[in-house]
């Protein structure tokens, strides 16, 4: 199946530092979620096949923009999860990022390479970078794109449409999982600019990361969670970082 690329719409946005997502008003007065670059928020995915696991891992490890480190351990199924960082200078942004900005999340298995991004432009850029580095070691099978509104339409219909809309649990869970994985590989000022994954390499860093996780948990308990809101369980980070 060939590549299918779509140009992203540019929108002027308000800032939302906490989640790296902003809102812009459509001409008709509606609200649209956009990325920090101003592109429409779209759930995108690219699926590659390959037969060179270790070679691909070493090439991406040597590249400065992929978060593959020596201590990155595979999941029980053998898959590796890692981010793709923004390393280009002078890139337009609606607000200043703290630490490195994560543009996509990747999953490498013994036979496949999956790319997930929150806009079509981010996916296009990541695929271009991968194909530049890996060449014919990977073969694109398909790309998919699903707008936020499309994801909501495909969810289970509401029993009572007149009630206020609540995002479906599967959409919330997917976004919360992405938020946690991005936090693990984000530069944290409280860790001296290190990412949590880097900090846990030392006893002092492990203790500080555990303290941050505890603080996040206490703060979430103080805030009443209402249906449809994002509240990622930072305790899951312990398992992701091997702290349990």
Provide the CATH number for the domain formed by 42-150 in this structure.
Answer: 3.30.70
- The domains of the chain are located at 42-150, 166-240
Closest CA to 35 of 23, 21, 24: 21
Strands 112-117 vs 21-25: parallel, antiparallel or unpaired: unpaired
131 vs 142: CA distance, rounded Å: 14
**How far, in Å, CA of 16 to CA of 144, rounded?**
26
Cα(25)–Cα(14) distance, integer angstroms? 9
Q: What is the pLDDT of residue 12?
A: 36
**Could you tell me the two tokens for 79?**
């898959």
Residue 143 C-beta-side C-alpha neighbours within 13 Å: 21
Q: What is the pLDDT of residue 241?
A: 83
Which pLDDT belongs to residue 26?
A: 47
Q: Tens place of pLDDT for every residue, the chain, 244 residues?
A: 444 444 443 433 333 333 344 444 444 445 567 777 778 888 999 999 999 999 999 999 999 899 888 778 888 888 999 999 888 766 665 555 555 678 899 999 999 999 999 899 999 999 999 999 999 999 999 999 988 777 767 665 555 555 555 666 667 777 777 878 888 888 888 888 888 889 899 999 889 988 888 887 787 677 666 655 556 777 777 888 888 7
Please, is 237 exposed, middle or buried when counting C-beta atoms within 10 Å of its C-beta (0-12, 13-18, 19+)?
buried
Instruction: Give the pLDDT of residue 7.
Output: 43
pLDDT of residue 8: 42
């Amino acid at each position: 199946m060939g590549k299918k690329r779509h140009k992203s719409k540019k929108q002027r946005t308000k800032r939302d530092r906490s989640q790296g997502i902003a809102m812009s008003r459509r001409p008709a007065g509606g609200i649209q979620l956009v990325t920090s670059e101003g592109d429409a928020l779209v759930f995108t995915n690219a699926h590659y096949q390959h037969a060179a696991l270790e070679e691909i891992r070493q090439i991406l490890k040597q590249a400065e923009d992929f978060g593959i480190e020596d201590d990155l351990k595979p999941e029980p199924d053998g898959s590796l999860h890692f981010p793709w960082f923004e390393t280009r200078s002078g890139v337009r942004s609606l607000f200043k990022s703290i630490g490195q900005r994560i543009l996509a999340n990747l999953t490498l298995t013994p036979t496949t390479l999956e790319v997930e991004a929150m806009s079509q432009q981010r996916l296009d850029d990541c695929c271009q970078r991968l194909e530049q580095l890996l060449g014919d070691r990977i073969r694109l099978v398909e790309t998919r794109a699903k707008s936020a509104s499309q994801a909501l339409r495909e969810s289970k219909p509401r029993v009572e449409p007149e009630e206020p809309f609540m995002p479906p649990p599967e959409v919330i869970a997917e976004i919360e999982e992405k938020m946690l994985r991005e936090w693990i590989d984000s530069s944290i000022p409280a860790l001296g600019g290190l990412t949590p994954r880097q900090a846990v390499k030392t006893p002092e860093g492990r203790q500080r990361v555990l303290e941050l996780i505890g603080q996040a948990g206490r703060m979430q308990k103080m805030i009443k969670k209402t249906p449809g809101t994002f509240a990622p369980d930072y305790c899951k980070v312990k398992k992701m970082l091997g702290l349990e």
